[in-house]
Structure formats: C-alpha cells, structure tokens
Chain A
Amino acid sequence: MSKRIEINDLDIYYGDFKAVEGVSVDIEPRAVTAFIGPSGCGKSTVLRSLNRMHEVISGAWVDGEVLLDGANLYGPGVDPVNVRRQIGMVFQRPNPFPTMTIRENVLAGVMLNNRRMSKSDQDDLVERSLRGANLWNEVKDRLGVPGSGLSGGQQQRLCIARAIAVSPDVLLMDEPCSALDPISTLAIEDLIEELKTEYTIVIVTHNMQQASRVSDKTAFFNIAGTGKPGKLIEFDETAKIFSNPSVQATEDYVSGRFG
C-alpha cells in the first residue's frame, strides 16, 4: 500500500525559470514527512512535482529523478494520469466537486478507473473511506446532499476521503489546514496520525508547530532571494530539526528569527 519515494537531484523549471534546484530527499513509507520553509521557497512546487501536478502550468519540466519504489515517475512513456492515480493529493482549500453529493465525491476517483462497480461495493467503499477520514458519523445520514454544504473542516476531510478511496500509495497534502479553524485543524492532524499507519504522507505546512506535532521527518527549504531557485537546506528527523538543527538558517527559521 505505502511506497517509498526517493528524490534524486531534482531541478524544477517553469520555462527558462529555475524554481527549485538540487533537491534530494528520501521519503519513508508509513511515515509523515513535512516540508517547511518561507513563502516562495519551492516546497509546494516540490510537493506537486511528486504527482506531476506542477505540470498543469504549461512550460513546467524537471531535471532529475523521482523514484516511487524504484520506478522513475519522470521516465519515458510514464503517463502523468497514471502517476496521479497512485499518488493522491489534498489541497490548501477544500475542493469537493460542488455539483456532486457527498457519496459521489467519495466515488469520483474510483469511477474514473472502474465504472462497473456493484452498488454494495460502492456503499462499502464510501463507508470505509469516510470512516478512514473520520467523517462517517457526521455525514452517514446525508450522503445524498451536496458536499459543498459541509463545514470547511468537514469538506477537507471529505477531500481526504476522496483521495484515500482510490487506495493510493502516497498521500500528498499541500497546507491542508491553512483554511481551517483550530478545532478542524486538530481533527485533520489526528487523522494524519492515523493515516500514516497505512500511507506514505508528505505534508507542506506553514505552521511549524504542526510540522513538529505530526511529522517524523522534516525538510527545510529556503530561497536566497527573489528570482533565485529554492533549495533544500536541511533534511532530518523532525526532533532534531526543531531542537538541534545542523544548519544555522534552519535554527533561525524554526526559532522564529526570520520568515
């Protein structure tokens, strides 16, 4: 179910502009890896390059490799559509499909691959995914109402249910709590803790307390100045990054001296 990701010397470009330079990270399966750093440092770009979502901006390309259990996601003949079916993603703001019901939202990804699914299998999957996202008890009586009618935190958990319904190998989360209140944030963080027993999770966050609470390993990205590429500064156990980092810039950032 969960797979290891190796990023080897990855450069990410938008046209001629080099957005990220020389990133190498080993992402462990069944663990949470956090990307932190100031705005514009390229951490979201690196995250999105892991399921090739950065390619929705035309002109984006990469140099280097991203290996999912040894298979290069950027190898010749690899279809980004297939990559995204293995690597799920949760976005900054909750984005359930507004015209679909809660049930249809959960099934949206599965329906792409496997349209002929019996009703009872669908029911099972909906319940399993919603339970997996800690949302089942709140919505089990109203699966037929539009997903956009839920609260922000519920919508975000619906999006997580939608992502895990397709049984991905990896779950990417791009600042999943930045649009949520503290209670909903706590709910999502608890959920991440549970999900990591089954999935490889990579999370981008602006909130350093969050990174230290949920992650096992942390990567700190930084940028030298506007127009310069973002770089990976330090990657280590989360406890070490937040207590005794080996690079001065990391220490300045996590202790709040800049950024």
Chain B
Amino acid sequence: MTTAAPAASRATATKRPADIAFQAVSTVAGVLILIALGGVAIFLVAQAVPAIIGPIPEAEGASFWDWVWPLTFGTLWSAFLAMIMAVPLAVAIALFITHFAPRRLAQLLGYVIDLLAAIPSVIYGLWGIAVLAPFFQPAFLWLGENLGWLPLFTPPASGTGRTILTASVVLAVMVLPIITALCREIFLQTPRLNEEAALALGATRWEMITMAVLPHGRSGIIASSILGLGRALGETMAVAMVLASSGVVSFVVIGSQNPSTIAANIALRFPEAHGITVNMLIGSGLVLFAITLLVNGLSRWIIAKTTVDGGR
C-alpha cells in the first residue's frame, strides 16, 4: 500500500459511527467465544491434573488412565452403535422427504422430525426405561440363545433390558432429527441441472439419487453425522437413566455387564463426589473434551478431502 495514491482518495474512506460500533460489537463477540473455550480448557486441565498425576482412591495401584479407559470405551462404543443405526436411517428419511414423498406428507414429516429434536433428553430416558428396555428384553434373550456365538451377543442376556444396545437405540433416536434435518436441507440444494442430467440419460429415480443427489450431499452427510456424533458422545441424562453399568470393557451389547459413558458417569457421581474424586470426574470430562475436539478435527479433514471444488 505504498503506491503513490493521491492523498485525497484515501481521505474519502471516512469511518461512520454505526460501522465502528458494529465492528466493535462483533469483534467483542468473536473474542468472547475464544475466551469461553480457553476458559473451559484451562479449568478442565487445572482441575484434572491432581487426579492424573496422583494416586486415585478407586483401586489400589490403578492410575487415572486405568480408571478412565472403560468410560472412554463405553462412550465411544455407545456412540458408534448409535451412529450405525441413525445415519443410514436419517439419510433414507431425508431422501424420502425430499425425493419420494408427496408434498403434504413431506411437510408433515419435516415437522415431526423437528419436533423430535425438541423433546428433552430426560423424556427420552424415561421412554428408554419404561418402554424400550422391557420391549427389547425378550429379543435380547432370543439373541443370546440363538446368536450367542457372535461376540456381540454372548449370553447371559440382561434381565432388565437396560443394556448398552438399548441406550444406543435411545441415542440413535435422539440424534436422528439433527442428521435428518441437515441432510434434508442439503439434498434439497442438489442442483436441479444435475438431477435432470441424470434423468435425461435414462436414470431411474434411485439411479438419479446415486448419480446426482448423494455425491452432491456427501460432505454434508458427513458433517451432519459428526454433529449427531457430537451429541451422542456428550449425551448425559438419557444414558445415565437407561444404562445399568458396571464399568467393564465389553463388546457384548445384550448383557447386564455394560461399560458406562463419561458424561453419564459424571452426572451420576458428581453430586456425592468430594476430594480427589471431583478431580477424577473433571479429568474424565477433559478426556471427553479431547475426544470431541478430535472428532471435529477429523470431520473437517474428511470434508476437505472429499469436497470437489467448482461443483456448481
């Protein structure tokens, strides 16, 4: 900017009061979010350090990491199960709404999906305990008897039905609306020209979807799944209510021995925690925070890798 621009033209760039005020407000807002995030991170690390370096009261000779591993496993495992169920279903629902349903039905379904997102998680928890668990229990027994040779269904089956699979189903129902709503928006934005290009080549409706709609929506599907995964990882109340946990590391999804999740464990134990136990729980919170950051970073990386530029 050292070119010989006449001074007069530079002077015309007057600062208007409204511009200055707006810039100040938005800058403050932007800085605030950074401060909040940094504050949370500092709090978690500072509070977690005593538990991470020192001995913990849970078991003799066990380190913090031995204690937090089953919880981390439970968090990841339940979220993974939930995503396996929720993502294909959500994509299918979104496709149905955008490309198959008559307009009236599509609108109604859209409202219902949005409504599902508005139900508090405590209600989902109650539903999981009162309806889902007893409903699944006979199915778990059957799975244990007939498919028990699969590591997933090793008997004995739970007597209450409050297993990690039930919790994952509840989680799946909870994340379904987020993923569906986002996928619906993305599928609606598929360029009409691309859809017509496929149809004009003699594609059936389904072939058109695989040629035009899904490739266009790929990064959006990933992004919305990650948002759903974030909710599944951090979901507290529903899991705390539904899951009968015992702190094991096990892939069995129908048994009475289930790993707990970090968030549910914090919610259940924090009210009666004191001393170093508080630090342990906060430390597990730090682990959850790190997992969430990692998942977000991973998703950004995937989206950046799979997005084709110049797509319109």
Contacts and interface: CB of A to CB of B under 8 A. Distances in A.
Contact of B200 (A88, A97, A149): A88
- Most chain A beta-carbon contacts within 10 A, residue among B202, B218, B310, B312: B202
Contacts of B211: 97, 108
Interface stretch (B110-118, B168-176, B189-197): B189-197
Given A98-B308, A112-B207, A53 B199 contact: yes
Contact of B218 (A95, A96, A99, A148): A99
Interface in A94-108: 95-100, 108
B241 interface: no
Interface residues of B, number: 24
A173 to B, nearest CB: 11
A113 B203 CA distance: 9
B201 interface: yes
Contact of B199 (A82, A84, A100): A84
Contacts of B198: 97, 108
A159 B308 contact: no
Contacts of B197: 91, 95-97, 159, 162
Nearest to A90: B200
Interface in B35-77: none
Contact of B196 (A91, A96, A146): A91
Interface string A45-89: 000000101001000000000000000000000000110110011
B184 interface: no
A113 B200 contact: no
A187 to B, nearest CB: 20
A40 interface: no
A98 B190 CA distance: 11
A160 to B, nearest CB: 12
B194 A97 contact: yes
Interface in A126-171: 146, 148-149, 159, 162-163, 166
Chain B: interface secondary structure? helix
A109 B196 contact: no
B159 interface: no
Given A98-B215, A99-B308, A85 B194 contact: no
A89 B200 contact: yes
A96 B312 CA distance: 9
Nearest to B310: A148
Interface in B253-312: 308-312
Given A98-B215, A99-B216, A162-B201, A93 B207 contact: no
A207 to B, nearest CB: 21
Given A98-B194, A99-B218, A146 B310 contact: yes
A113 B308 contact: no
Interface in B209-258: 211-212, 215-216, 218
Contact of B202 (A95, A109, A149): A109
Contacts of A112: 201-203, 207
Q: Which 6 A-B pairs have the closest CB atoms?
A: A85-B202, A109-B201, A99-B215, A95-B193, A98-B311, A89-B200
Given A56-B195, A91-B197, 13 more contacts: A51-B200, A53-B199, A82-B202, A84-B200, A85-B201, A91-B193, A95-B196, A97-B198, A99-B215, A99-B311, A109-B202, A112-B202, A166-B201
